[in-house]
Amino acid sequence: MAKFILLMFICYHCGLDPVFGLLSKRNVSSESLSSLNQEASEGFLWNNIRLPQSVIPLEYDIFLHPNLTEARFSGKVEIKCVIRETTNFVVLHSKDLVISQTTLTTIPSNEQKEVRMQMKNDTDQLFLIMEDAIPKDAEILITIVFDGILGINGDGFYLSEFFTSNKSSRYLASTQFEPTSARKAFPCFDEPALKANFSMSIVREKKHISLFNMPRVDSIPRKNNLVLDTFQQSVKMSTYLVAFAVGEYKGKSKLTKSGVNMTVFYDRTSLMETVDFSLDAGGTILDYFNTLFEVSYPLPNLDMIAVPYHKAAAMENWGLITYRKPYLVIPINSGYRWKYRAVSVIAHEIAHQWFGNIVTMQWWDDLWLNEGVASFMQYLGLQAFDNDWSMKNFFTEKINSMMSEDFTNSRALNQPVAVPDFSIFNGVTYAKGASIVRMVRGLLGEKAFMNGIKTYLNQNKYSNVVSDDLWQALSNSSDDGIDLKAVMSIWMGERAYPLVTVRRNHSEIQISQEPFILKNNTTSRTTPIWTIPFQYGILDQQGHFSRKMFLLREETATIKISGHFKLVKGNYRDDGYYRVNYDPESWKAITDQLMTNHEIFSPGERAHLLNDAVSIFARTKPLNMSVVMDLLNYMEKETDFLPWFSASHSFGILIKLRLKDIKPEVKVLMQKFATVATKALELIENQLQAKENNKGYKDAMKEYMVNLIRRINSRVSDSSPSTLRPSTDKFTQKMD
Ligand SMILES: [Zn+2]
């Protein structure tokens, strides 16, 4: 799922509110329905929020008849299960459904068992209790007939409204099941590890289409202008990836090079929009991943549908990805930023078809295996679609994650989840997860990393994994026998990240680590020692960088460097999820080099040099402001996006900490930001007039710089010491 998107040029938070004129007037209540099934509290045979492992689902056969006009649906589900341990009860999930009939028969004897039903509403658990126990290894068929309402809250099986060109209202019924809302559409074993094959039949009105994860195989007319569609059985998958949709939609298809039938479905309400762009991007990225991962996308189709109301940006349902409309149906003549945004989301969801769908986390504790890995792979997909949208832009992901960790009590990547809800889909899961993957790739090297990824996918196809499965596969592919489980344990279990300090002493460098804490926002903290893949560059007297890797396992270490060298640059190639500070002489060597030839450092490196310097300056006294001022000097020549994105974030740190109000010199620093940004803008405008390559990018860059300068200027002039708020004193104490 794309919860929110950290994107080039802006952080985009969709604020698309649905217009539910008619729906809001309908007086329907799901609570009143579910309460009908609640039996008097009499104790339960199973008291655990997780399902027992005694009964395992194998196949679902679902029948649904949604009525979009009356906002309700009726259905029947048949679930074939195997008994793993002798038991006299079955526990599965159901929420907000009215169950009218339940039967349980043994297979193949077809013997019907007496079943008593009990509902535990606080855990959404439906108990089917039998008189006699069913023995281990037996197979059973559970049949449940039910009714439900089509909600309007964007989860479960729900309605969203759109308007035709003549302003008349229409509805789409579609699904959003992740993490735990499949149980609102049909009774099921709603845990990610309980994978099964799903078959589907849907009754629809003739004017509608219906969609499921798999292609339709048959359509049979029924009376009253209705049609019964049936679909191919799905591959083995988790319940949260099941999806279906019914509405007055159209589709446009193309066959990708790898033979997958890709279709974009949309409501054709505006002629000024196109799906060609997203179809093209989707096809290119799917083909690229198919080749890269060496595990074929296993379905014959990949449908992508624009949904009028979507809680997230998009959802990766296998073979039927749902999107907020602006990411899929794109106005003709859309600019660079809009297209980048859309392709980022498309690449993320298609990456999930492997990371999440083919291989799924065992439980929601390891959600980062879905979201972090997909967020990393989306950058490879972006680059495959447009080479200018290269991996270097990943810096934006990392810097946003670090800032989130600096300012909030974020969760660790691996943290127990009892009840999964939308809050687990936070920025750390996505952006820190992706940053950790990128750091591991830097440690192993690209070839060994991709080999490990292919092994991970192949070994765990249609199955479930925990973090250690990924580390094991990657360790096995490592040329140096690196034990990634040990290396990554602190990164997974701790929130925050380290600061590495580099001190040069003639021909050796001393490095040390400590947790980077910008603001003391936790009451108690441990002092973890990370195992840090410290990648560094040594610039020799001839102006050539050589790349080195050192695994810093202790608090401090000394590295001997052979030969004379001009400077040492930590976090070389910008792969690491840590900040770097230097002794004053090393900072000076770096700033002198930036003034002489800044392009000797990559844009990502220039970006993190500035962000590290400002963050360290904002946090503590040791870094003199002159270091930051010297770094800023070179930026009047800077026309690349990443260093300016970094400057904007750095500026944001100063604003957030309200340092301008506390330290007078910070106002001078911010004025300097504005001055160098104005000079850089002149350069960018000159490049635009010279019509250099990539005009769309330069245009977007100009717009970005104009906004940045406007923001800085307004912040520099908006207050004086007399406007300080009382809380400032607290900050002063903390900062000093
Ligand atoms: Zn996702």
Residue 520: the pLDDT is 58
Q: Is 316 annotated as a binding residue?
A: no
The architecture in CATH of the region 583-736 reads Orthogonal Bundle (1.10)
Q: Quote the CA–CA distance of 283 and 258 in Å, as a whole number.
A: 9
Q: What is the mean pLDDT of the chain?
A: 88
CA angle 109, 110, 114 (to 5 degrees): 120
**Beta strands 209-212; 125-134: pairing state:** unpaired
Of residues 721 and 411, more confidence is placed in: 411
Q: Which residue(s) pair with 568 in the sheet?
A: 538
Average pLDDT (708-721) is 74
User: Residue 82 gets which letter from DSSP?
Assistant: E
Residue 14 pLDDT greater than 70, yes or no: no
Distance 348 CA to ligand 1 centre (A): 6
Structure tokens at 93: 């999930």
Q: What is the pLDDT of residues 311-322, one digit of tens each?
A: 999 999 999 999
What whole-number distance in Å separates Cα of residue 547 and Cα of residue 96? Answer: 58
The residue type found at 371 is E
**Does residue 179 register a pLDDT over 70?**
yes
**Tell me, what's the pLDDT at 154?**
96
Q: Which helix (H) or strand (E) holds 444?
A: helix 433-444
CB 104 within 8 A of CB 90: yes
Could you check whether the bond before residue 515 is cis, i.e. omega within 30 degrees of 0?
no
Task: Give the H/E segment covering residue 560.
Answer: strand 556-560
Of 191, 349, 397, 605, the catalytic one is 349
User: In angstroms, what is the span from residue 365 Cα to ligand 1's centroid?
Assistant: 15
pLDDT digits (tens, 9 = 90+) for 540-570: 999 999 999 999 999 999 999 998 999 999 9
Question: pTM for the full model?
Answer: 0.91
Amino acid identity for residue 25 in this structure: K
Residue 509: pLDDT above 60?
Answer: yes
Q: Is 462 left (phi over 0), alpha (psi -120 to 50) or beta?
A: left
446 assigned binding-site residue: no
Distance from residue 352's CA to the centre of ligand 1 (Å): 7
Is residue 348 annotated as involved in ligand binding? yes
The pLDDT value recorded for residue 259 is 97
DSSP 134: E
What is residue 13's predicted lDDT score, i.e. its pLDDT?
A: 28
pLDDT of residue 29: 40
Residue pLDDT, tens place only, 362-401: 999 999 999 999 999 999 999 999 988 877 788 888 888 8
C-alpha 64 – ligand 1 centre gap (Å): 27
Band of pLDDT at residue 189, cut at 50, 70 and 90: very high
Share of the chain above pLDDT 90, in %: 70
pLDDT 10s digits, 319-361: 999 999 999 999 888 888 889 999 999 999 999 999 999 999 9
Would the pLDDT of 251 be above 50? yes
Q: Is 521 buried (19+), middle (13-18) or exposed (0-12) by CB count in 10 A?
A: middle
Domain residue limits, the chain = 497-576, 583-736
> What average pLDDT does this structure show over 280-287?
98
Ligand 1 centroid from CA 231, angstroms: 26
Angle 39-44-50 from CA coordinates, rounded to 5°: 115
Beta carbons of 250 and 258 less than 8 angstroms apart: no
Q: What kind and span of H or E run contains 154?
A: none
pLDDT at 699: 86
Is 114 assigned a catalytic role?
A: no
CATH number of 497-576: 2.60.40.1910
Higher pLDDT, 714 or 633: 633
pLDDT at 173: 98
